[in-house]
Structure 1
Amino acid sequence: MATPTTAVDPQPTGLRERKKQRTRGALVDAANRLFLEQGYGKTTVDEIAAAVEVSQRTFFRYFANKEEVALAVLADAEETFLELLRARPADEYPLEAMRRAARQVWQLLDQGRVAERGTVAGALELFELIESTPTLLAAHLRHTLQQEVEVTRVLAEREGLDPAVDLRPRLLAAVFGTVIRLSHLTFATEREPHRQGVDGMLELMERHFDQLGPALAGSWR
């Protein structure tokens, strides 16, 4: 009688994926800690890898360079925003759908559900680091332009428009991205006690969005 074969347990694949995510998260966490402690320019890939007790080769399996690991948390947040925007109800006006998706991103980030080890405080510290580091700022702005193209595409698909003919999706994507960046910058310089945490960030972001319509179309006096 033949010995019955044992079915292959599907879990190992899931376990491997979770291990990969943990390694990626540990690299991001170590890189961000080192960047904030000793500066972006003084931190090497070897130091980041050593902090996680992996090889440089392992680091490059996950990230092409230091820029990519430094921008990882914000890149994850931007990807989450796109997913949430695609999932917003079709009857929401474009700007309302974007505002709600942005709120969801910050709430998920606050719960640690956007990046492996991402937090609101960590994201804002990273944003300050990026803004003060020319190399990172240039990389971030390039990435922001790419994100703008993706947001334009999602908005056009939602509204059934051709963005090459109708400029509204691209215009809204550009204005929206600028409001988000200004909200981050303002929050970084106005950290009053009542503005700490995700609630303060959301309050400030919503205030900027409320001012958007009058700033574009109304009298400033």
Structure 2
Amino acid sequence: MSAKQQGLRERTRQAVRAQLMDVAWDLFVRQGYDTTTVDEIAAAVGMSQRSFFRYFASKEDVVLVKFEKVGALLADELAGRPAEEDAWTALRRSFDVIVNATEHDPRYGLALLRITDQSPALRAGRVEQQKQWQDLLSPLVAQRLALPAADHDPRATALTAAALACFSVANGVWLQSDGTESLRRLVDDAMHAVRPGSF
């Protein structure tokens, strides 16, 4: 198989995965995660259950892949922030890519948090994914702090971990409020609690 054919095959695979994710999340939001079956997700896109498992290892995998995509999105946002922003402000502004989407339509954010809170396996998976977010963001923070690439300096990782912890706490409070509180304000409050007067 040529490189061009392999590239086309991979793009087709990614398109089908994206379609399955979209359909699955619509079903999760409308009828709940537990009551949605793999058969229903597969049938909604005109494929068999067996075909579904060519794209996702499990129903849980559909949820966890969502967190992977969020991590990549955050890294892109952070990399694109103005160079003159300090690292804490750049991290806060990067979170807006999620905050804006969530405030525009809170249903998906609430569904994602509820689903992962209700399942021990998914809760553990979410923690692991957030550790991967930290691994993605820390090198970008290190650049902003002008730290040597090979240096064993904890500051970039500590700053990133603190910001992600604030974001996680804000999301937890937002979920407790059933989305009635402003996620933007909660993220601001959490991050100001750690660094008053920032951004």
Q: What TM-score range do you get, normalising by the shorter chain?
A: 0.7 to 0.9
Larger radius of gyration: 1
Q: Where does 1:23-62 land on structure 2 (aligned, <5 Å)?
A: 23-35=16-28, 37-40=31-34, 43-62=36-55
Are residue 127 (structure 1) and residue 113 (structure 2) matched? yes
Comparing 141-150 and 67-76, the one that deviates more: 67-76
2:3 aligned residue:
none
Shift of 1:135: 1.1
Q: Which letter maps to 2:117?
A: E
Alpha-carbon distance in 1 for matches of 2:49, 2:176: 36
Q: Please report the TM-score for the alignment, with normalisation by the length of structure 2.
A: 0.78
**Counterpart position of 1:170:** 157
Secondary structure in structure 1 of the residue aligned to 2:82: coil
Percent identity among equivalent residues? 28
| Pair 1:110–1:85, CA change in 2 (3 A) | same
User: Which residue number corresponds to residue 76 of structure 2?
Assistant: 83
With over 3 angstroms needed to count, the CA separation of the structure-2 counterparts of 1:167 and 1:158, relative to structure 1, is: same
Contact 2:71–2:136 at 8 Å: present in 1 too?
no
Q: 1:98 is matched with which residue?
A: 91
Superposed CA deviations along residues 28-47 of structure 1, whole A, max 9, x for unmatched, are 2332344453544x644333
Q: Distance in 2 between matches of 1:95 and 1:43?
A: 40
Instruction: Name whichever of 51-60 and 137-146 sits farther off.
Output: 51-60
CA distance in 1, matches of 2:117, 2:150: 30
Which one has more relative contact order, counting CA pairs under 8 Å at least 6 apart?
A: 2
The 10-residue stretch of structure 1 (156-165 or 99-108) with the greater mean CA deviation from structure 2:
156-165
How far apart, CA to CA, are the structure 1 residues paired with 2:183 and 2:190?
Answer: 11
Aligned residues: 187
TM-score (norm: length of structure 1) = 0.71
Structure 2, gaps ≥5 residues long:
1-6
Cα pair 1:63 1:69 within 8 Å, conserved: yes
Q: Could you tell me which runs of 5 or more consecutive residues in structure 1 were left unpaired when the two chains were aligned.
A: 1-12, 112-118, 215-221
The whole-number CA distance in structure 2 between the counterparts of 1:105 and 1:43 is 25
Partner SS state of residue 54, structure 1: coil
CA contact (8 A) 1:85 1:98 kept: yes
CA contact under 8 A between 1:163 and 1:169: conserved in structure 2? no
Q: Which residue of 2 aligns with 1:205?
A: 187
Q: AA paired with 1:127?
A: L
User: CA-atom RMSD, angstroms?
Assistant: 2.9
